A and B are shown apart, each in its own frame.
Chain A
Amino acid sequence: MVIVNGVKVSEKEKRQRLTQEKKSRNISAWDVVKISRHPKRPIFQDYLERIFTNFVELHGDRAFGDDRAIIGGFAQIGNQKVMVIGHNKGKNTTEQIERNFGMAKPEGYRKALRLMKLAQRFNLPVITVIDTPGAFPGLEAEERGQAESIARNITEMANIEVPIISLVIGEGGSGGALGIGVGDRILMLSNAIYSVISPEGCASILWRDAKFAPDAAKALNITAEALYKLDIIDEIIEEPTEGAHADYQQIAANVKRSLLRNLRNLSNISVYELLEQRFEKYAAMGKFAVD
């Protein structure tokens, strides 16, 4: 049994529904990539303003600094108090530079983990909001342990004793996304993408030229629709036809409704069950042959 836009559906219904949606959408993977990166696409702070109240931002990783590419803190959604953490790309050039275009460094991932542990201490569910081209590929990031910080988050998130909902609103760029993305529920906006490598990066390796990015985008199966079919994500949140940027109020309302429903569904599970289910969820991921 799976949930599409809040409705429980069987596997058969799920397939039918996707075929219908595909017919009505008729849009290439590359078109989706472009929408996911649209300059006017709502970013984390737009959802913070529209969905959450009483945001108390918390700063710093207690070791090196405060990465502005990932922000987080206490917040309220409806009557529910939560910890919300997300990549924030910035709305204009100044903000984008300050926030490094949402490309986090180790201190960003370590801050995120600190806040998740704080959420566990306060017994608050965690909502992580993913929107990044990837973790920052720079000298100082490597020097301070980019790989270690992502690895630690992924490992420790397996044992965080409160519900975690991961929401992909734009670009889910590889390890940089997964570093805050190990959730009990993974939700994606209908024009968001989630990929092991950027289409450009993949094309430049396997096609020997980045201009084949549209082919790579298709081959990589990076759209919400493709990932839903592969049982990677739990739910697709519908955007307005032209994309989320066309109607901020509408997409914020859809996201809010979905978050509240998922928070409710996760609220009555014991810690033991929650962690068992999280383990089983990730243990089941992947497709391989047994000869």
Chain B
Amino acid sequence: MSWYTKAIEEKKPQKKTLWIKCRGCGAHIWASEWKQNLSVCPECNYHCSMTAQERINLLFDKDSFHELFENISPVDSLNFNDLKGSYKDKIEANKKKSGILESVVTGHGKIKGFSVVTAIMDFRFLGGSLGSGTGEKILQAANFAYDYGLPYIIFSASGGARMQEGVLSLMQMAKTCAGVARLNKKNIPFISVLLNPTTGGVTASYAMMGDLNISEPGAVIGFAGRRVIEQTIGEKLPDDFQTAEYLLEHGFIDAIVQRKEMRDYLANVLSYYNR
């Protein structure tokens, strides 16, 4: 989306590295300890990004997750080429790098026995950007929740709409929100979990539309990019600007939940769904 300048790239630790350097405080942490602590820094509580699969493993009951719409992938319908090459090549490279076909994994499963439909964005795939395939999967999953009357949980981690698909990407904001609007009509709960980072067109569509909006500590959540705003207003922004804590203070999210407590938190909230 306009003004969002550069997706924050977080390098995932390589399998063989012994030490992880925390992006939050710079501390060196044993890789085994880092993993044990769910990719959260034991020193400063920095919540590093997770893959969709890691999040499924963390949150869903063992063997309960069934993937849906997994055969959907992006196409380079505009023949988009920039300085670095073609979108087509980028798609292939990202598929290879991440082992998934789009920036979101969709499916249904159980959280402590509660059945839900879910869409989990994966920041490794083109910065979690919202492309046509992403939008299709998120809508189809919403329709699945609608048809079966199941709560819908979307985990967002995205730099925003995918530029390489032009207005087709922009329209995914309307497409995904149309799915959310149908859930609203049928009183089906939609929980939005905004993870680091959730910005641009994703924040300005389904991610902000949760009946509950929740987040993890320190997650960056915003519409316009920080640098663009600084250029517009000509001054430095406060450090906590566009963090989960800032959004909580301004009334846009319901709660900030520690990663290790997320499963219990979601199950507890789902236990109140009385339909």
Contacts and interface: CB of A to CB of B under 8 A. Distances in A.
B115 to A, nearest CB: 24
A137 B204 contact: no
A286 B135 contact: yes
A290 B71 contact: yes
A207 B200 CA distance: 20
Contact of B204 (A150, A194, A215, A219): A150
B78 A221 contact: yes
A291 B71 contact: yes
B170 to A, nearest CB: 4
B2 interface: yes
Interface in B193-230: 200-201, 203-209, 222-225, 228-229
Contacts of A227: 167
A189 to B, nearest CB: 16
B80 A175 contact: no
A68 B74 CA distance: 40
A143 B238 CA distance: 12
Contact of B207 (A145, A151, A179, A212): A151
Contacts of A266: none
Contacts, number: 223
Interface stretch (B30-38, B41-49, B178-186, B265-273): B178-186
Interface residues of B, number: 70
A212 B83 CA distance: 10
A31 interface: no
Interface residues of A, number: 63
A176 B2 CA distance: 9
B118 interface: no
Interface of B: 1-3, 5-6, 71-75, 77-78, 80-84, 101-102, 131-133, 135-136, 139, 161-163, 165-175, 177-182, 184-185, 200-201, 203-209, 222-225, 228-229, 232-233, 237, 241-242, 250-252
Ranked nearest first, the 9 interchain pairs of A and B with the lowest CB-CB distance are A286-B132, A137-B224, A158-B181, A288-B133, A206-B82, A147-B203, A147-B223, A287-B77, A151-B208
